[in-house]
Amino acid sequence: MGESLSNSVRSSAKNVKEVFGRRYTFQLYIDLECEGAAGQPEQITVDAGKLTEADPWTCFGDNEHIKNIYLFKNKLMSWQWTQLFLFHSFVVFETKNYWWSIEKNGEGVTIQRSKSKGRVRDYYRRNLRTGFDGISSPDHVVKDGTKASKSQLRDIMAFMEDANLVSSRYNIVSSNCQSFASHLFNHFAKEKTWIRGKA
């Protein structure tokens, strides 16, 4: 029990640092094989100011068209009873061959790729998302198709660089996961919009 409590305390301390952006790296992390074993994977790392200079094949493989875009939310802290007001939000893209998640937190911006929707929805950096046990899943908030003119994976890099979504330091109020998700969703979604902070 003592070890479990100690692990819980360490996990909470880590989450607090991430929530307040104390670990932010100004980098984009890409994991193209997120079905791998738990723990920190070997990832492609791109500095914030070099997103459009990165080799697209290395970052994405085929430049697939984005078919659908989803927005999900989950608890910020494992001890939360509800995620009605306080939650982490992230975007999921569906392409022809893969599912992708993209999100910002106090560590940086992370993109994950998998053949399984559940793997990018329920996991972050190969570990179960905060507050979930592998049975329940993050809450689905909204879904839409994507704009024909902005429907390829490489457009994401250009948009994030133009909008300074990676280069802006994480801030719990002004530059957080919800503002990042709303920028991405509202830019690429065909018809719908999402207001930051609204379920």
pLDDT the model gives residue 8: 44
pLDDT surpasses 60 at 81:
yes
Q: How far apart are CA 190 and CA 145, in angstroms?
A: 5
CA–CA distance from 24 to each of 18, 65, 84, 110, 137 (Å)? 7, 30, 26, 12, 26
Q: Give residue-wise pLDDT tens across range 128-146.
A: 988 776 667 889 999 999 9
pLDDT surpasses 50 at 2:
no
DSSP H helical segments within 20-104, as ranges?
Answer: 56-60
Q: How far apart are CA 36 and CA 18, in angstroms?
A: 23
Task: Please report which confidence band the pLDDT of residue 57 belongs to, taking 50, 70 and 90 as the band edges.
Answer: confident
Q: How far apart are CA 190 and CA 96, in angstroms?
A: 18
Using alpha carbons only, give the angle 128, 153, 169 rounded to the nearest 5 degrees: 60
Contact (Cβ atoms closer than 8 angstroms) between residue 79 and residue 12: yes
pLDDT surpasses 60 at 1:
no
